């Protein structure tokens, strides 16, 4: 009989935009995901047209994470893949200072996981980005987002370097070809050239994030999550 090695990570995966809810609580800014309150494939709205949807509540992981993590432990998890919402750290993406309430929230998450000896596996960008970067920069089509993303991830690495060693940069970066607003903050009628240019900017940002991770966090491991469809 084949046995899993002792260091095998057995767990599950969630994403901030799928489970947290509390979409504007404690200083959080609107994300691109917040403009799709009924799901990834529904037509997105403008800030003025936005209406509440199911993802505004989700499973209320923002407030109920202690009991949810306890349930994960009952299931035998020793690892949880989760994501950080960029908009909880820098609500508009280009803010002068990070949002301390957002940073403190993920501190509490990682501390709760540690109580159960559960390893956090953290995604930095999972189908969302600050909506203000779409409005003011045109999403990942603007090369300036590379530096803004690098500042966000550097802030996160510095804050959680003693709590998180396993990192993913972008979730399913190829999704931008199927849903450009979700993936790179471009309008759905963006040209193929515009989408590939935005993906190029994400790949450069990915490389810079990996470099920052290795520089800041001892024994860190990082990767990008791809799925072939």
Distances, alpha carbon 136 to alpha carbons 121, 142, 183, in Å: 31, 10, 17
- Residue 10's Cβ-count burial label (10 Å; 0-12, 13-18, 19+) is exposed
For the ranges 57-61, 144-148, 214-218, 220-224, the lowest mean pLDDT is seen at 220-224
229 has pLDDT over 50: no
At 110, give phi and psi (nearest 5°).
-65, -35
User: What pLDDT score does 42 carry?
Assistant: 62
228 has pLDDT over 50: no
52 has pLDDT over 60: yes
Give the class (CATH, top level) of 11-225.
alpha beta
53 has pLDDT over 80: no
For the ranges 70-84, 100-114, 139-153, 215-229, the lowest mean pLDDT is seen at 215-229
226 has pLDDT over 90: no
| pTM for this predicted structure | 0.93
User: What pLDDT score does 25 carry?
Assistant: 93
Nearest to 54 by CA among 87, 21, 7: 21
User: What pLDDT score does 170 carry?
Assistant: 96
At 100, give phi and psi (nearest 5°).
-60, -35
Per-residue pLDDT tens over the stretch 134-165: 999 999 999 999 999 999 999 999 999 999 99
């Amino acid at each position: 009989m084949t046995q899993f090695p002792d260091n095998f990570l057995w767990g599950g995966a969630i994403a901030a935009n799928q489970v947290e809810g509390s979409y504007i609580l404690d200083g959080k800014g609107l994300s691109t995901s917040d403009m799709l309150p009924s799901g990834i494939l529904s037509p997105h709205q403008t800030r003025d047209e936005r209406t509440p949807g199911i993802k505004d509540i989700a499973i209320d992981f923002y407030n109920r994470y202690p009991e949810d993590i306890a349930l994960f432990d009952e299931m035998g998890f020793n690892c949880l893949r989760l994501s950080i919402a960029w908009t909880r750290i820098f609500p508009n993406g280009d803010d002068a200072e990070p949002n301390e309430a957002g940073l403190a929230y993920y501190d509490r998450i990682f501390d709760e996981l540690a109580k159960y000896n559960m390893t956090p596996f953290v995604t930095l960008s999972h189908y969302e980005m600050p909506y203000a970067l779409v409005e003011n920069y045109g999403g990942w089509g603007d090369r300036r987002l590379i530096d803004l993303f690098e500042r966000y991830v550097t802030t996160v690495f510095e804050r959680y370097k003693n709590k998180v060693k396993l990192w993913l940069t972008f979730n399913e970066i190829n999704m931008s070809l199927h849903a450009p607003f979700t993936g790179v903050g471009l309008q759905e009628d963006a040209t193929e050239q515009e989408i590939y240019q935005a993906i190029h900017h994400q790949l450069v940002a990915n490389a810079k994030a990996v470099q920052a991770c290795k520089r800041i966090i001892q024994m860190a491991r990082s990767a990008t999550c791809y799925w072939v469809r």
